[in-house]
């Protein structure tokens, strides 16, 4: 019986496969004194939203074990930038100001893609996860990816 419960729990934890379900943009100026805005629209409300930044567009499948799998549109992710938590409309954005006294080593053409991680059905109390308990917690993870966009950092 314990093995059945353990297997059922693992099944409930598995994430849905990633799907392009949102739109994403990077706007503004990445030069000294400017600002860049990373905007993600169309995620699930309350999802955690990130920007993945790299230099090459392509396909990168990632197996995340019990968290499911995710296919990025960037083959060489070099940075992951937390954007925030999606609001009730599924939108999140972050504006970064570039200091005006940053040394200018030139410019870099970069690619970025928005990714969100939704967590649903978290246990709310009682044994088994429900308010009164009595059953297995019914929660899971879902990934959402966006389009890939280009932007320039530097002059």
* pLDDT tens digit sequence for 61-116: 999 887 788 899 999 999 999 999 999 999 999 999 999 988 777 889 999 999 99
pTM of this prediction exceeds 0.75: yes
Q: Is residue 149 part of a domain?
A: yes
Q: How many domains does the chain have?
A: 1
Q: Is residue 26 part of a domain?
A: yes
Q: Is residue 107 part of a domain?
A: yes
State the average pLDDT over residues 123-136: 53
Q: Is residue 49 part of a domain?
A: yes
Q: Is residue 102 part of a domain?
A: yes
Structural domain that includes position 30: 2-119+139-154
Q: Is residue 132 part of a domain?
A: no
3-state secondary structure of 67: helix
Q: Are 93 and 111 in contact (CB under 8 A)?
A: no
Residue 69, domain CATH: 2.60.40
Give the Cα separation of 69 and 119 in Å (integer): 15
């Amino acid at each position: 019986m314990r093995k059945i419960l353990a297997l059922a729990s693992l099944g409930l934890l598995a994430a849905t496969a990633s799907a392009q379900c949102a739109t994403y943009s990077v706007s503004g100026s990445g030069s000294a004194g400017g600002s860049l805005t990373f905007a993600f629209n169309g995620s699930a409300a309350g999802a955690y939203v990130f920007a993945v930044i790299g230099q090459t567009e392509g396909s990168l499948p990632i197996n995340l074990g019990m968290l499911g799998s995710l296919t990025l549109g960037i083959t060489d992710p070099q940075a992951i930038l937390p954007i925030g938590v999606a609001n009730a409309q599924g939108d999140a954005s972050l504006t970064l100001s570039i200091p005006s006294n940053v040394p200018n080593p030139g410019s870099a053409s970069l690619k970025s893609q928005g990714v969100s991680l939704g967590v649903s059905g978290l246990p709310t109390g009682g044994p088994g996860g429900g308010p009164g308990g009595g059953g297995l917690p019914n929660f899971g993870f879902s990934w959402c990816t966006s389009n890939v966009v280009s932007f320039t950092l530097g002059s």
